[in-house]
Amino acid sequence: MEFKDYYKTLGLERTATDAEIKSAYRKLARKFHPDLNPNNKEAERRFKEINEAYQVLSDAEKRRKYDQLGADWQHGATEDEILRRYAAGAGAGAGAGSRWSTAGGMSDFFEQFFGFGGSPFGAETAGAGARGGPFGFGGAAERPARAPDVTAEVTISLEDAVRGATRRIELVAQDECPRCGGTGMVTREQRQGKLRVIRSAQPCPHCGGAGVIPVRRTLEVSIPPGVTEGTRIRLKGQGGRGVRPDLNGDLFLVVRFEPHPVFTVSGRDLRCQLPVWDYEAALGAEVTAPTLDGKISLKIPPDSQTGRVLRLRGRGIPARGGERAGDLLYELKVLAPTGLTAEERSLMEQLAQKRRARGVADPRADLMKKG
């Protein structure tokens, strides 16, 4: 009976794990599916071989029999029967006149007969220089693919960026379809008569043939202090689901800031437009100013004008990842008084007269020259 090397069909080593078998099948089934290769007889033949190999190797009991009995695994041949066939077929070759023992099991017999452990139908192949089976079977396994990474945004407040926080987020990721096992295909059975059953592969109705379905997940994420707008936080293994946990993709969270009613952000610096009265700006004053941690007392130097910036070093977003802490910047906005009383208006007029008498320069003089 012709021996079919199912491991070779799927491009696997005989030591392949269940996950590696599934991954190889998914990849090859998509490549050679008849719907994707219309009128291609070779692709149709390969697709049938791939399905046959997967049906055996994905079933633990069938695989055990296949590994032990090779081509006779479906026909209930015993180990002694297989031994007699190989001993009889040895003829005048390397096995002629030799005595074969099965006391140690089939693996020991194969080592005696072929010079290596395992089975006569293939041997482990670790690479191009590894020793293959006596019939040329076996081959390097295709490594299962890593699942894709997922990128999502998380919006936090400036206070969270400074102090750190824990946030619960919801995201949608593409996970392996449970109906088709990620292949995108399902096998349909159609009975014709009492004995005949026709099997055909069709796109999975659950995932539409994509092999993946959108799955909503909820995660608790720790936001470290010192993140800035656009910071990417990596959560290893929380992205797309792979055939094994170590093949899961990563989740990258991109930090976005909520608009703040008082502060704007520039890198790690925080900016605040601080209004002051004209007399505070002229005479100097000590005023109350806001921070993310509460209120502070801030000194306004005399003769300050609109646009002057007062800097508090290190009071912005904290240092992180080798970057220094940001600063807190107050930009002054000088306001003229409104709603003056008669007495206040009189005082303002006296001040104006005194300044004109002193010959204070017209603040619009430069504009007139340029005009």
Q: Cα(360)–Cα(351) distance, rounded to whole angstroms?
A: 12
Res. 275: pLDDT tops 70: yes
Q: Which of 74-78, 229-233, 244-248 has the highest mean pLDDT?
A: 229-233
Look at residue 33 in the predicted model and tell me its pLDDT: 82
- pLDDT at residue 116 tops 50: no
Question: Domain tally for the chain?
Answer: 3
Using CA atoms, how far apart are residues 307 and 5, in angstroms rounded to an integer?
A: 80
- 280 and 189 inside one domain: no
Could you give the dihedral angle defined by the CA atoms of residues 292, 297, 303 and 306, in that order, rounded to the nearest 10 degrees? 20
CATH of the domain at 242: 2.60.260.20
Question: What is the pLDDT at residue 143?
Answer: 60
| End-of-domain residue from the set 59, 87, 114 | 114
* pLDDT value of residue 5: 86
Which of these, 207, 217, 223, lies nearest to 258 by C-alpha position?
223
Beta-carbon-side half-sphere exposure of residue 359 (alpha carbons within 13 Å): 0
d(CA 327, CA 314): 5
Shared domain check, 226 and 196: yes
- Specify the range with the lowest mean pLDDT, choosing from 79-88, 95-104, 183-192: 95-104
72 with 108, same domain: the answer is yes
Question: What's the Rg (C-alpha) of the chain?
Answer: 39
Strand 232-235 to 150-156 pairing = unpaired
Residue 191, domain member (yes or no)? yes
> Where do we find the tokens 């014709």?
192
Answer whether residue 252 is part of any domain. yes
Pick the last residue of a domain from 213, 230, 257.
257
Check whether 291 has a pLDDT greater than 80: yes
Q: Categorize the per-residue pLDDT at 141 as very low, low, confident or very high, splitting at 50, 70 and 90.
A: very low
| Residue 95 pLDDT exceeds 80 | no
Please tell me the number of Cα atoms within 13 Å of 187 on its side-chain side: 13
Note whether 288 and 298 are within 8 A (CB). yes
Instruction: Name every residue whose Cβ is closer than 8 Å to that of residue 178 and which is 6 or more positions away in sequence.
Output: 206, 213
Considering the chain, what is the average pLDDT of its residues?
79
pLDDT band at 102 (very low <50, low <70, confident <90, very high): very low
Asked whether residue 250 falls in the same domain as residue 276, the answer is no
The secondary structure element, H or E, covering residue 277 is strand 269-277
Residues 174 and 239 in one domain: yes
pLDDT at residue 280 is higher than 60: yes
* Residue at 140 is within a domain: no
Q: Considering only residues 50 and 121, tell me which one the structure prediction assigns the higher pLDDT.
A: 50
SS3 (DSSP) at 257 = strand
Question: Same structural domain for residues 253 and 269?
Answer: no
Copy the structure tokens of residue 260.
């703040």
Q: Which residue has the higher pLDDT, 178 or 281?
A: 281
pLDDT at 12 over 50: yes
Residue 184 lies in a domain: yes
State yes or no: pLDDT of 87 exceeds 60.
no
Residue 156 and residue 104 share a domain: no
Query: At which of 70, 95, 114 does a domain end?
Result: 114
247 in helix, strand or coil? Answer: helix
Task: Give residue 342's pLDDT.
Answer: 95
Q: Categorize the per-residue pLDDT at 249 as very low, low, confident or very high, splitting at 50, 70 and 90.
A: confident
Mean pLDDT for 219-231 is: 92
* Span 185-214, average pLDDT: 76
Higher per-residue confidence, 4 vs 138: 4
Is the pLDDT at 308 greater than 80, yes or no? yes
Token digits for 209? 């043939």
Note down the domain range covering 33: 6-114
